[in-house]
């Protein structure tokens, strides 16, 4: 399988997602800040990115904009404790693959991974 980036400043979220994604036979690369993840994604695009919405130094929606500006069509799942509707209202149409609200379930993550597998 391909590589999935997990970008979150909370170590617990990174570890949980890493374990779930690893069980689905993807290679997992974790980042605790968005700037490093963005640089790596531009140079070595992953198959999917799980990205915290409020991460620093570049907020999640701005990372997505920069990926689009670089003509990269990487599916991005924005993760947030905020309401999904609130985040979606701040995004342009078709900017992200999905918004995943915290707390999320293992099955929600697996469903996203399975959808990405089917689309590849």
* Rounded (10°) angle between helices 60-69 and 34-43: 20
CATH of 3-119, one of 3.40.50.150, 3.40.50.620, 3.40.50.2300, 3.40.50.1000: 3.40.50.2300
* SS3 state of residue 50: strand
Residues 6+ apart with CB under 8 A from 90: 61
Q: What does the alpha-carbon distance between residue 120 and residue 92 come to, in Å, rounded to a whole number?
A: 24
pLDDT in tens, 5-61: 999 999 999 999 999 999 999 999 999 999 999 999 999 999 999 999 999 999 999
Spell out the domain ranges in the chain. 3-119
pLDDT tens digits, residue range 60-71?
999 999 999 999
More confident site: 1 or 67: 67
State the pLDDT confidence band at 109, using cuts at 50, 70 and 90.
Answer: very high
């Amino acid at each position: 399988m391909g590589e999935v980036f997990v970008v979150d400043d909370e170590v617990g979220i990174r570890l949980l997602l890493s374990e779930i994604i690893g069980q689905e036979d993807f290679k997992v690369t974790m980042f605790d800040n968005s700037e490093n993840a963005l640089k790596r994604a531009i140079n070595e695009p992953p198959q999917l990115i799980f990205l915290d919405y409020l991460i620093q130094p570049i907020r999640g929606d701005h990372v997505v904009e920069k990926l689009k500006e670089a003509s990269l069509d990487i599916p991005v799942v924005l993760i947030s404790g905020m309401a999904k509707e609130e985040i979606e209202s701040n995004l342009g149409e078709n900017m992200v693959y999905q918004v995943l609200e915290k707390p999320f379930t293992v099955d929600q993550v697996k469903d996203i991974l399975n959808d990405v597998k089917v689309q590849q």
